[in-house]
A and B are shown apart, each in its own frame.
Chain A
Amino acid sequence: MKLTKLLAAGLAASILGTGAVSAEEVKIGIAAEPYPPFASLDASGSWVGWEVEVIGAICAAAKLDCVITPVAWDGIIPSLTGQQIDAIMASMSITEERMKTIDFSNPYYNTPAVIVADKSMDIEPTPASLAGKIVGIQASTIHQAYAQEHFSESEIRVYQTQDEANQDLFAGRVDAIQADSIAMADFVASDAGACCEIKGPVENDVSILGRGVGAGVRKGDDALREALNGGIAAILADGTHAEITSRYFSASIYSE
């Protein structure tokens, strides 16, 4: 009997001990899989990258007590609706499809989607040129939706993380990948990406590619959405956004 009581106490402690949430603490969900240069884990176990710094700046400006919480990208929206996190700031594009399930703040960056392929390959970022080729994309992204819609003549290979898609482009197991231009600029500049180059942006399709990256919040959580909007506006106005960007990228990644 003692054992059962002890176990019950242990169980309660492990839920509630970590569980007594202070009212102001906001859990910001980011993807647990590395997505350099926006968010990745360094060897000491802390999260670094442009987006991590921007999250810090937005939260500071909005006076929110934010805690970064890594969640599997593939299940990040269910985690939000299931209340494991309060907001998603994981380079998630604002799309109509996602707006049916969650709300978004105003965008805090926007970049085009590009096609990357081996330098020796003669590939254009068009459906005709990619017909019959293998295109790698990350699961649950706008790129998956776009590729499935527009590259119906290509074989689409779905990866759980962007890094694994990059890895297979390097390994020659896919002919091309579609991804965010900034992440790809970073990739082709690295050793592993030396094989490849950006072939150009895909033709825009706002209904799928959306209008930039915003913070996702639960439907009806207007207080948090307004607070984040305020934070985003503040760091755009006071130059913090530009300052962080300049340390990572050569050009601005925000436009109205």
Chain B
Amino acid sequence: MEPLLELLGLAKSAELLSLSPPGWGGNLLRGLVNSLQIAFGAFGFGLVIGLFGAYGKLYGGVVIRDLLAIYTTVIRAVPELVLILILYYVGTDLVNKIAQAFGYGRVEISGVFAGIWVLGIVQGAYSTEVLRGAIQAIPQGQIEAARAFGMPSLMLMRRVTIPAMMSFAVPGLANLWLIATKDTALLAIVGFSELTLETRQAAASTRAYFTFFLAAGALYMMVTLFSGAAFNRIEKWARRGQPSLRGKN
């Protein structure tokens, strides 16, 4: 009796998860694409903030350093959920007020952009710390040598600092990417239709809470495992030509 029931139960789940309606698989996949899009954008936006933040913390003036310290401390102490709510409402409000001040009328902010902006600010704080550590790990002589040859500072950043710090930054950045993918779930609270909200809608409509939450978990898990493999390759690539660091640590 038991296996038969299990088989029947699974058959029902498969029907619920099938890709074309009446199955909800298509919705979940659409949500996954949205989630990945936001995670990717937020990660990139965070990296840009992080790069400037790290430079500011290392080479900036006293005021910039203090402001950046406040930024990273606040972001790392306040729950993402609270930050998302504040940034979501404040951000969209602010953009509209600015647009109106310039006489553009209302600017509509797409959900994807709002999500990227909100998560990007959060990611930026962590990126700042990761990149700062990575830049500090570069042997100082390399940067001094480039300076001695009169390399302009932007070129120095592009040709020396960024390539040299890559191998130190990749593990931390891999972690940040995983945090970004998982934090997109929090956007469900502000009603953005990413994977978790799509799952919640599907679960509520069909009452198959267990099936859909497990399915979504499996999708997130796949993203995690796939990213892990990808970042391993990136790390190998970033370390090319370097002696193995394993022995040292």
Contacts and interface: CB of A to CB of B under 8 A. Distances in A.
A42 interface: yes
Contacts of B217: none
Contact of B113 (A15, A27, A33): A15
A135 B22 CA distance: 34
- The winner among B26, B93, B113 for most chain A CB atoms within 10 A is B113
Interface string B161-202: 000000000000000000000000000011111000100111
A223 interface: no
A11 B112 CA distance: 11
B159 interface: no
B154 A1 contact: yes
Nearest to A44: B21
A237 interface: no
A4 B154 CA distance: 12
Contact of B207 (A27, A73, A192): A192
A189 to B, nearest CB: 14
B24 interface: yes
Nearest to B90: A82
A130 B202 CA distance: 32
Contacts of A41: 27, 201, 205
A19 B193 contact: no
Given A32-B197, A72-B191, A43 B89 contact: no
A41 B205 CA distance: 8
Kindly state the interface size class of chain B when it binds its partner.
35 or more
Interface string A163-183: 110010000000000000000
A83 B110 contact: no
A19 B201 contact: no
A32 B22 contact: no
A132 interface: no
Interface of B is mostly: helix
Contacts, number: 95
Given A15-B109, A33-B200, A44-B21, A82 B89 contact: yes
Given A7-B48, A41-B201, A192-B207, A16 B191 contact: no
B224 interface: no
A36 B201 CA distance: 11
Interface string B30-58: 10000000000000100010000000000
Given A15-B95, A33-B204, A34-B204, A43 B21 contact: yes
B23 A82 contact: no
Nearest to A25: B108
Contact of B110 (A18, A43, A45, A167): A18
Contacts of A15: 95, 107, 109-110, 113
A82 B48 contact: no
Nearest to A81: B93
A41 B200 CA distance: 11
Contacts of B30: 45
Nearest to A16: B107
Interface string A139-170: 00000000000000000000001011001000
B24 A83 contact: no
A1 B23 CA distance: 47
B227 interface: no
Interface of A: 1, 4, 7, 11, 14-16, 18-19, 21, 27, 31-34, 36, 40-45, 70-75, 78, 82-84, 161, 163-164, 167, 191-192
11 contacts: A14-B112, A14-B116, A18-B110, A19-B110, A21-B108, A43-B27, A45-B26, A71-B191, A72-B191, A75-B191, A161-B204
